[in-house]
Amino acid sequence: MNLDEVSARLTEVVGERHVLTRVSELLVYSSDGLPGYRKQPTLAVFPGTRDETIAVVRILAEAKLPFVPRGAGTGLSGGALADGVVLLGLHRLKNIISIDVENRRAKVEPGVVNLKLNRTVAPKGLMYAPDPSSEAACTIGGNIAENAGGPHCLKNGVTLNHILALTVILPSGEIVELGAEEGERDGYDLRGAFIGSEGCFGIALDITVRLIPRPQVIRTMLCDFTTVDAAARVTSAIVASGVIPAALEFLDGPMIRVVESSIYAAGYPKDAEAVLLVELDGLQEGVDADLETVRRLALDGGARNVKVARDEVERLRLWQGRKKAFGAMGRLSPHLVVQDAVIPRSRLAEILGRIEGIRQKYGVIVCNVFHAGDGNLHPNIPYNADDPEESERVHLAMKEIMQACVSVGGSITGEHGVGLDKMGYMDLIFDPVSLAAMCDLRDAFDPERRANPAKVIPTHRCREWMAAPSARASAKAVQA
Amino acid sequence: MPHATLPSDPLPAGEIPNCALPGTPLADSLPGINACVHCGFCLQACPTYLVHDDENDSPRGRIFLMRSLLEGTVTTDDPDVNEHIDRCLGCRACETACPSGVPYGQLLEATRATLAIGRGKPILARIILSVFKRPWLLRPAMLASRLLAATPIPTLLSKTPGRFGFAMAMLASTPRGIERGRYRASGDGALGSTAVLLGCVMEGLFTETNRATERVLIHNGYTLNEAPGQRCCGALHAHSGDLEGAKDLARKNISAFEKSRADFIAVNAAGCGAIMKEYGHLLRDDPEWNERAAALAAKVRDISELLSAAGPKLGGALPVRVTYDAPCHLHHAQRIMQAPLSMLAAIPGLELIPLHESERCCGAAGIYNLIEPETSDLVLDEKLVNVHETRASFVATGNPGCMMQIGAGLIRDDSPMRAVHPVDLLDASYAAS
């Protein structure tokens, strides 16, 4: 089957409007959340129902065509870029199939937007806990691909902890059930393998998520500091005290000033060099005690001021500033790179100091906004990709930051995934044997290696990888 | 939840190597394009993305197309590019979602002006824009429409298939205001002088709302100055890529309103108010006019802003169920969110029913509902589902396009609900006191 024949058959399934083949229509799909990359798909197809999705995957299997699944295209590792292959968009599958209040779970299609699910279940006193900063746009399917986190994963856990069961179509077209709605499944529980597989293992057709009761009390406090170092030390002190905040977020001075000039200005003091956003939730009595503990630790640790949100409006405003921080980076320049390293929380002050040194060495701007409680760093570096000299400096700085994080025992990604952007760092933390084992696992789900080819695992590290012709073609394009 | 502050800091500079369209309005807008980091937070705010499920019909997709035009990877005559840029409502809901402050409305105007070089607009658009530029054509056209609206003919034809039937339904909705008594408006004039923008459609088809506007202004402590020589605000022209036409109208209005010597220009049509507040931007490259334009723009107020500043005064009891639909060019473009609600709050007995997704576009978008009927209908259908759910008697919305669009939808759905301006309700309340 050539591409025209495939296109004709896909059109029969999903309709003409939902198959894109002209270059001018495909252009906008050449970037996801990281606009510094441009990779052009050959064709894009957007099924609108479960049955259409199954039919599309089976046509692609028959034609032996590689494909890249995509949700909302808000990912930050280049994971949804289709380089000369088919882009399979799942954003039209946006039905919330059922909400089971008694058993606290919901069944959704992969294209359901995270915040939409939360808004729908909120009136029932429930919530879906993982809340990536892109929650207003990103999809549950994409969250599963990346095993997404978010500020509130500090206490509640990441996506993996909130997915009960999935129906998955493998790249071959075979449909399998992973996990079980009612407790444990007999035999291997492969949810953990699938969640975080970055679109390389197949496509979730429906997803049963865990819902949890909304906490009785939520208190959000803003601690502001005149030095980054003091804020970092207070973070470590809070974690060491035994208090488990619902969220513990860090913004440094440059990031604060970007947010405060946006429509999401949250009231962070513009002259601060760091703020900590600490949220405590649970039962009234416990929260009050924890609040006092955190307040004392912050003030003893050099906080200039500790403010507690007076009402829900102020609380949401404090959060909007944090959640939209990444999107506000356009105030500085058209492109940015963002790192996603996880480091031991006890080394926070040291690493932030080293990042500052790297910033000065390369003459770049670094805006830090991150999940401090988890030790999950997000240094953002704004730059103009059309300036090759600046791009070079920025990428060298990023690499050095990553090396610094790894040198203290850190990992290269906390929640954004490896995708294309972090693939070059895999060698830093995995030996060839481990990488080969990952390839073997991938082969169990996708022996033809057609799903999201040339992502996550550096191809030259994968035994026999180059034997698969479709993957080879894509790998060449990526390396070029 | 975003705040009502407009972006003030400079947008990122940076050049596109070998720009394909140098010297065009689009090339001048590059800093605005640069501000987009492709985060995607705008997607769920965009009505056309939600109904078409294609990023080409989303803000970040369209911005990508704008950049591609400058990079030369697509050309201005590319049918796909034109289709997706044409299909934008210009509702600017993406602006109140954008953390980076992308001035999307200005980018869209610049793109349409650039695409308009070397291609014709649809014949219907050309006729409408041409009539609105010329008072000697506009006045008789509006008079004829008003006379026709007073007959049963538009209602009888309102369900005819196609755009003709919809246009008839729009017309049929215009005389369906609110019954109100008479009262003598009087006030102390302490809050300053105003000159009212009469507007083309407002004075043509919503004459009674304009008179109500004048009465409630007086009643709340403003005085009225005449502004003879005022013209169409130019919004329809700017949004359709006729920037020169818009500038010409802006200059005429600046002269007329300067002569009025009023402290404030009072505007009761959200779309008109939005463009008049941007006259400074529109004429930024005109050394003779830019300062005058900015000075005049600073005096422009939506009627709800003026009334909210005055209280407004409480009226008499009006026991009606009302829902509020936020016009895009009030909510997203002018960031006026609370003031219209304060008008409704001044009416004792009025029960305000919340409208789900009140700030989502209704699909009117100037003349969009006449030239892009398919998408407009899809967007309107979603609005009507939410409107019907309120079981209100009136939908209050402060823009003539929205009043006619929702009004037409209600007539075609055989609903007894009516679309009115918040000023009409306040005026009826004053008459009842």
Give per-residue pLDDT as tens, A361-395: 999 999 999 999 999 999 999 998 888 899 999 99
The answer, for A117 touching chain B at a CB cutoff of 8 Å, is no
Name every chain A residue with its beta carbon within 8 A of the beta carbon of B19.
none
Nearest-CA distance B147 → chain A (Å) = 43
What angle (nearest 5°) sits at the alpha carbon of residue B39, between those of residues B372 and B96?
A: 60
Contact assignment for B96 to A72 by CB distance below 8 Å:
no
Q: Do the Cβ atoms of A24 and B81 come within 8 Å?
A: yes
Contact status of B18 with chain A (Cβ, < 8 Å):
no
Residues of A within 8 A of B39 (CB-CB) are 33, 74, 134, 137, 326-327, 330
pLDDT of residue A465: 44
CB within 8 Å: A29 and B36: no
Of the listed ranges A418-432, B6-20, B199-213, B334-348, the least confidently predicted one is: B6-20
Q: Give me the residue from B11, B37, B55 closest to A327, CB to CB.
A: B37
Name which of A134, A316, A386 is nearest B40 (Cβ-Cβ). Answer: A134
The pLDDT value given to residue B51 = 96
User: Mind listing the pLDDT tens digit for each residue in B254-265?
Assistant: 999 999 999 999
- For residue B274, what pLDDT is reported? 97
Residue B223: CB partners within 8 Å, gap ≥ 6?
A: B189, B192, B193, B194
Give the residue from A262, A268, A320 with the most B CB atoms within 10 Å of its CB, the best one to mutate. A262
| Closest C-alpha among B352, B323, B319, B318 to residue B415 | B323
| Single residue among B84, B116, B148 that ends a domain in this structure | B116
Contact B110, B237 (CB under 8 A): no
| Residue B375 neighbours by CB under 8 Å, 6+ apart | B48, B51, B52, B87, B89, B363
CB–CB of A138/A112 below 8 Å?
Answer: no
Topology adopted by domain A332-407:
Alpha-Beta Plaits (3.30.70)
Given CB atoms, is B50 within the 8 Å cutoff of chain A?
no
Query: What is the predicted pLDDT for the residue at B3?
Result: 36
CATH number, domain with residue B417? 3.40.50
Query: Which residue has 């032996």 as its token pair?
Result: A64
Q: Is B68 on the interface with A (CB under 8 A)?
A: yes
Cβ within 8 Å, pair B65-A28: yes
Tell me the count of A-B CB pairs closer than 8 A.
144
Q: Residue A184 has what pLDDT? A: 73
Q: Which residue has the tokens 């030390």?
A: A233
What pLDDT digit, counting tens, does each position of A139-194 carry?
Answer: 999 999 999 999 999 999 999 999 999 999 999 999 999 999 887 777 888 999 99
If you measure CA to CA, which chain A residue comes closest to B6? A263
| Alpha carbon separation from B346 to A185, B257, B287, B308, B426 (Å, rounded) | 61, 30, 44, 10, 8
**Is the predicted pLDDT of residue A478 greater than 50, yes or no?**
no
Q: Lowest mean pLDDT: which of A84-93, A331-340, B293-302?
A: A331-340
Between 3.90.79.10, 3.30.465.10, 3.20.20.70, 3.30.200.20, what CATH number should domain A96-213 receive?
3.30.465.10
B266-286 average pLDDT score:
97
Identical fold for domains A217-323 and A332-407, yes or no, is: yes
Average pLDDT over residues A104-127: 97
Interface of A with B in 123-152 (CB under 8 A): 134, 136-138
Q: Which residues of A touch B34 (CB under 8 A)?
A: 330, 333-334, 384
Does B155 reach chain A within 8 Å, measured CB to CB?
no
Query: Which pLDDT band, with edges at 50, 70 and 90, does A230 fall under?
Result: very high
Q: CA-to-CA distance for B224 and B262, rounded, in angstroms?
A: 8
Number of separate domains in chain B:
2
Q: CB contact, 8 Å: B245 with chain A?
A: no
Instruction: List pLDDT tens digits, range B225-248.
Output: 999 999 999 999 999 999 999 999
User: What's the confidence (pLDDT) of residue A35?
Assistant: 82
User: Can you tell me the mean pLDDT for B92-115?
Assistant: 95
* A 28-87 residues with CB < 8 A to B: 28-29, 31-35, 46, 48, 72-74
In this structure, what token pair is assigned to residue A305? 């001021």
- Residue A327 near chain B (CB below 8 Å): yes
Are A91 and B53 a contacting pair at CB < 8 A?
yes
Residue A462 has what pLDDT? 53
The closest CB to that of A137, out of B40, B54, B78, belongs to: B40
Strands A96-100 vs A105-108: parallel, antiparallel or unpaired: antiparallel
B12·A328 Cβ contact <8 A:
no
Q: How confident is the model at residue B122 (pLDDT cuts 50, 70, 90)?
A: confident
Confidence (pLDDT) at A458: 86
Best probe of the A interface among B39, B52, B53, B66, by most A CBs < 10 A, is: B39
**Rounded mean pLDDT of A120-135?**
96
| % of chain A at pLDDT higher than 70 | 95
> Residue B297 above 60 pLDDT?
yes
Of B99, B116, B133, the position where a domain reaches its end is B116
Q: What does DSSP say about strands A67-70 and A86-89: parallel, antiparallel, or unpaired? A: parallel
Q: Is the pLDDT reported for residue A204 higher than 70?
A: yes
Instruction: Return the pLDDT at A188.
Output: 87
What is the residue range of B81's domain? 25-116
Protein fold of A3-89: 3.30.43
Q: Indicate if ipTM > 0.90.
A: yes
Mean pLDDT, chain B, rounded, equals 94
**Terminus-to-terminus CA distance in chain A, angstroms?**
27
| pLDDT in the model for residue A460 | 60
- d(CA A462, CA A449) in angstroms, rounded, equals 12
* B334 part of contact set with chain A, CB < 8 Å: no
Question: How high is the pLDDT of residue B10?
Answer: 62
Q: From the centroid of its chain, how far is CA B10? A: 26
Nearest to B432 by CA among B177, B176, B182, B178: B182
Are B328 and B363 contacting, i.e. CB atoms less than 8 angstroms apart?
no
Q: What is the pLDDT of residue A185?
A: 73
| Polymer length of chain B | 433
User: In terms of Cα–Cα distance, which of B172, B174, B201 is closest to B267?
Assistant: B201
Given an 8 Å threshold on Cβ–Cβ distance, is B44 in contact with A136?
A: yes
Distance CA A204, CA A110 (A): 6
The residue among A245, A221, A367, A369 whose CA lies nearest residue A299 is A221
Residues of A in contact with B40 (CB under 8 A): 33, 72-74, 134, 137-138
Last residue of a domain, one of B76, B98, B116: B116
Q: What is the pLDDT of residues A280-311, one digit of tens each?
A: 999 998 999 999 999 999 999 999 999 999 99
Specify the CATH architecture of the domain A217-323: 2-Layer Sandwich (3.30)
pLDDT in tens, B2-58: 333 334 456 777 778 889 999 999 999 999 999 999 999 999 999 999 999 999 999
First to last CA, chain B: 37
CA atoms within 13 A on the CB side of B317: 2
The SS3 of residue B19 is coil
Tokens in use for B123? 């014949």
| Best residue in B48, B76, B100, B115 for a mutation probing chain A (most A CBs within 10 Å) | B100
pLDDT band at A480 (very low <50, low <70, confident <90, very high): very low
pLDDT of residue B1: 35
Partner-chain contact B1 A34, CB within 8 Å: no
- Chain A partners of B58 at a C-beta cutoff of 8 Å? 28
* Angle in degrees, 0-180, between the axes of helices B162-173 and B373-390, rounded to the nearest 10: 40
Q: Where does the pLDDT of residue B109 fall: very low under 50, low under 70, confident under 90, or very high at 90 and above?
A: very high
A69: Cβ contacts below 8 Å, ≥ 6 apart:
A80, A88, A90, A141, A145, A199, A203, A451, A452
Contact A31 B38 (CB under 8 A): yes
Arithmetic mean of pLDDT over chain A: 92
Question: If we measure between CA atoms, which residue out of B379, B282, B404 comes closest to residue B88?
Answer: B379
Whether pLDDT at B396 is above 50: yes
**Tokens 């441009």 sit on residue:** A38
Q: What is the value of pTM for the model shown? A: 0.93
A261–B contact, CB cutoff 8 A? yes
Distances (CA, A) of A438 to A342, A415, A422, A425: 21, 18, 16, 15
Q: Does the CB of B80 have a partner CB in chain A at under 8 Å?
A: yes
Q: Is B56 on the interface with A (CB under 8 A)?
A: yes
In this complex, do A28 and B55 lie within 8 Å of one another by their Cβ atoms?
Answer: yes
> Is residue A229 classed as helix, strand or coil in its secondary structure?
helix
Residues A61-66: what's their mean pLDDT?
97
Interface of B with A in 83-102 (CB under 8 A): 96-102
Cross-chain Cβ contact B1/A74 below 8 Å = no
Query: Distance (Å, rounded) from C-alpha A223 to C-alpha B98?
Result: 26
Output the pLDDT for position A335. 87
Q: Where are the domains of chain A?
A: 3-89, 96-213, 217-323, 332-407, 430-479
Mark yes or no for CB contact B35/A331 under 8 Å.
yes
CATH code of residue B77: 1.10.1060.10
CA distances from B51 to A11, A51, A92, A463, B357 (A): 19, 21, 10, 45, 15
Of A115, A134, A330, the CB nearest to B36: A330
pLDDT computed for residue A475 by the predictor = 43
Asked if A119 is an interface residue toward chain B (Cβ–Cβ < 8 A), one would say no
Cβ of residue B44 closer than 8 Å to a chain A Cβ: yes
Q: What is the pLDDT of residue B49?
A: 98
CA dist., res. B57 & res. B20, Å (int): 23
